[in-house]
Structure 1
Amino acid sequence: MNRIILWLLAIACSLATSTLWAHEIRPAYLQIEETAPATYDVLWKVPSRGDRVIDITPRFDASLELSDARETLLDGFVLYHYRLKGGGNSDGLPGTRLTIDRLPSTTIDVLVNIRLLEGGEYSFLLQPSENTVSIPREPDKLGVLTTYTGLGIEHILGGIDHLLFVLALIILTRGFGTIVKTVTAFTLAHSITLGLSTLGFIKVPGPPVEATIALSILFLALEILRGINGNPTLTGRKPWLVAFIFGLLHGFGFAGALAEIGLPQAEIPLALAAFNVGVEAGQLAFVAVVLLLIAALHQVREWSLAAQKIPPYAIGAISAFWVIERIWAF
């Protein structure tokens, strides 16, 4: 496998970072819980950046009455608490339409979870291209499955730090079989800690985890440079072992993202499994694209030693910046 091609891919991925940062990957969250027949507590959670709050609001059917909001600030979000009531002979939410006003003018998604008195639960993912949904009269587990699978795919493909880590692993790995083992080890490891953390068996503070994830990418960048200089490295000898160890750490990062998103309380195992499947699907798609580009560019000529060092320096510089930024945010 041509190492030069992998370095070219690393450069392209690094240059794309600024574009990916421009997309808000934290979704807004709308939680609706029925507390009495046709009466609901509504939690509306909107991402904020500094003093700027994204100007989107939920709009319900005219047969439903929404009370004034109570506002709370919390860790990069603004929380609004409402009371929603159905008037007269209204059956409540089932059979009505929900719209997120002004969502098409943004780049974020909205996760909607609805829980009814009799135990029924709905999950939807509204996007700028589709900001309205009809709430069915009968809940469907398929909604939870598709919603959280989509969120998993979106999270991994929008998480440039996780993708840079996977890319660095591929650069350090020799042979298709070894790549398969390495990616599988990473998948197994972060699936373990994602599940344990989400289900409450292990609690790890988010900021140190994010800083250490950045540090893991910096470590791989240094490993690439050592390999270029002809020095044997642990990652070069046993990439699957390094992938597994750091994969445990990345799983806590995925769990932190899922905690921000929120889970349907009646379908936690299904939503967790679907999110994990989405993460793996997105990760495998990324690996497939990288390998296809390698095949397409297989005839690229060899580069000088100095040119070969540009991509690991780029990855290292970005990850070092993240380390400092994330420690500063503690």
Structure 2
Amino acid sequence: MNFPLTPAPRGDSFVGLRLIFGFMLLLSLALPSLAHDPRYSSVILRLEATGLRISLVAPVGKEAGLRTRLALEADGKSVITEGESQIQDANNRTVLLDTSAAVLSPKQLTLTKRLFPEDPQSRTIVLLYSDGKLVQETVLDAAHPSFSWEATQAPESKLSVARRFVLEGISHIFAGPDHILFVVGLLLLGGTLRQLLKIVTAFTLAHSVTLCLAATKTVMLSPSIVEPLIALSIVAVGVDTLLAKPGERDFRALIALGFGLIHGFGFAGALAEVGLPKEALGISLGAFNVGVELGQLTIVLAVAPALILLQKHHPRAGRRATIAGCVTVILLGAFWFLQRIG
């Protein structure tokens, strides 16, 4: 890009300053964040002839006292667990604790809180099996902190599960500022709405592939590799946009396609280790991915028209906003990279 140093009209300067302030505000809000921490845990309940088998999955480092965090009631009485065994996953990401309780044929089961209610961003996925069949699958969060099941109720429909995980995908995009910043970085050069949607679609196709591979454990990469690479991808997008010149071929769709493969492993980290059942994985995974795409399109529709109008009617302010955006993207990406390798 060529950015002339001639004075800009007062209106252009005012618009540019507001956008620069907005980007700096984004920087200040995002710096304290680890940028990609899904904070998922899971409670897996299996009603068996010999009693109730319980599995708890949580991030490594949070396993101390995990069993005491289970607030489970059967027919209105607190469930007392017996014994436990614990294993850690191969990627050093989550820990699985297995325990059991002498609960036979309960009429009602109630989980009164999430495993980590002190963290407002935490989510607990609850899976309930009866006679080996999945009958209930839900997600507890701050807005919906409890779970209840009665033996007389029908198994949960696939549509209900899909709707829940679409919302999870949308929420996951807006809870992960690194992915938001990557998408915004791709939009900074502007273009038609069709061009920008093409770029985001390339990103979606790429991360869909690796999301499926990782969530089904076909291909797994350690978060210690994936997370720094995601941060570097943000830096790369910011640098590429900053150095771009008018008239050059637009490679953003290819960049989105390539780096989208890396981001897919990051998305999968939210679901791969929480014990999603194979029989429901296709629905949950597909719906989660749809939610991620809807979240991305929301960002495009919010940011792209403003950038297009600014660059059309206030070109100098648009160039200043692009510079401010690139600097923000590069600084945040570099900060997260150093944070994640530290």
Give the Cα–Cα distance (whole angstroms) in 1 for the partners of residues 216 and 253 of structure 2. Answer: 26
**CA RMSD, 1 decimal:** 3.5
- Match of 2:273, SS? helix
2:55 match: 43
Offset at residue 72 of structure 1 (A) = 4.6
Q: Label 1:305 to 1:146 Cα distance change in 2 as closer, same or farther (>3 A).
A: closer
Q: Label 1:8 to 1:189 Cα distance change in 2 as closer, same or farther (>3 A).
A: farther
1:157 match: 174
- Identity within the alignment, %: 28
Give the Cα–Cα distance (whole angstroms) in 2 for the partners of residues 105 and 210 of structure 1. Answer: 25
One-letter amino acid of the structure 2 residue matched with residue 32 of structure 1: L
1:315 match: 329
Offset at residue 243 of structure 1 (A) = 0.9
- Match of 2:270, SS? helix
The question of 1:284 aligning with 2:297 is answered: yes
Mapped contact 2:110–2:147 kept (Cα < 8 A): yes
Mapped contact 2:115–2:124 kept (Cα < 8 A): no
Offset at residue 322 of structure 1 (A) = 1.8
One-letter amino acid of the structure 1 residue matched with residue 230 of structure 2: I
Offset at residue 118 of structure 1 (A) = 4.4
Deviates more, 1:208-217 or 1:260-269: 260-269
One-letter amino acid of the structure 1 residue matched with residue 233 of structure 2: S
1:167 match: 184
Aligned 1:131-142 pairs, distance under 5 A: 131-136=145-150, 137-140=153-156, 141-142=158-159
Give the Cα–Cα distance (whole angstroms) in 1 for the partners of residues 194 and 22 of structure 2. Answer: 20
- Match of 2:136, SS? strand
1:121 match: 135
Deviates more, 1:250-259 or 1:306-315: 306-315
- Match of 2:269, SS? helix
2:236 match: 219
Offset at residue 57 of structure 1 (A) = 3.2
Give the Cα–Cα distance (whole angstroms) in 2 for the partners of residues 327 and 202 of structure 1. Answer: 22
Mapped contact 1:153–1:279 kept (Cα < 8 A): yes
One-letter amino acid of the structure 1 residue matched with residue 260 of structure 2: G
Scaled by the length of structure 2, the TM-score of the pair is 0.78
Q: 2:39 aligns with which of 14, 23, 26?
A: 26
Q: Deviations over 1:241-262 (max 9, x none)?
A: 1111111121121122221333
Q: Label 1:289 to 1:56 Cα distance change in 2 as closer, same or farther (>3 A).
A: farther
The question of 1:186 aligning with 2:198 is answered: no
Give the Cα–Cα distance (whole angstroms) in 2 for the partners of residues 102 and 250 of structure 1. Answer: 27
Q: Deviations over 1:54-112 (max 9, x none)?
A: 9843221335743146375854656543213325xxx33x6432211786653022111
1:255 match: 268
- Match of 2:128, SS? strand
Deviates more, 1:187-196 or 1:197-206: 197-206
Q: Deviations over 1:91-149 (max 9, x none)?
A: 33x64322117866530221111122242331111122322222143212234223322
Offset at residue 231 of structure 1 (A) = 7.3
Mapped contact 2:200–2:256 kept (Cα < 8 A): yes
Give the Cα–Cα distance (whole angstroms) in 1 for the partners of residues 56 and 199 of structure 2. Answer: 40
Give the Cα–Cα distance (whole angstroms) in 1 for the partners of residues 96 and 87 of structure 2. Answer: 6
Scaled by the length of structure 1, the TM-score of the pair is 0.81
Q: Deviations over 1:276-302 (max 9, x none)?
A: 111112212222222355478787683
Mapped contact 1:210–1:253 kept (Cα < 8 A): yes
Deviates more, 1:94-103 or 1:312-321: 94-103
Q: 1:17 aligns with which of 11, 27, 30?
A: 30
Mapped contact 1:47–1:53 kept (Cα < 8 A): no
Deviates more, 1:158-167 or 1:118-127: 118-127
Deviates more, 1:254-263 or 1:20-29: 20-29
Q: Label 1:250 to 1:37 Cα distance change in 2 as closer, same or farther (>3 A).
A: same
- Match of 1:180, SS? helix
For structure 2, list consecutive stretches of 5 or more residues without a partner in the other structure: 1-11
Q: Label 1:280 to 1:117 Cα distance change in 2 as closer, same or farther (>3 A).
A: same
Give the Cα–Cα distance (whole angstroms) in 2 for the partners of residues 168 and 124 of structure 1. Answer: 34
Mapped contact 1:64–1:85 kept (Cα < 8 A): no
Mapped contact 1:10–1:312 kept (Cα < 8 A): no
Q: Deviations over 1:2-21 (max 9, x none)?
A: 99587665444323314655
Offset at residue 263 of structure 1 (A) = 1.2
Q: Label 1:262 to 1:79 Cα distance change in 2 as closer, same or farther (>3 A).
A: closer
Offset at residue 208 of structure 1 (A) = 1.2
Mapped contact 1:27–1:110 kept (Cα < 8 A): yes
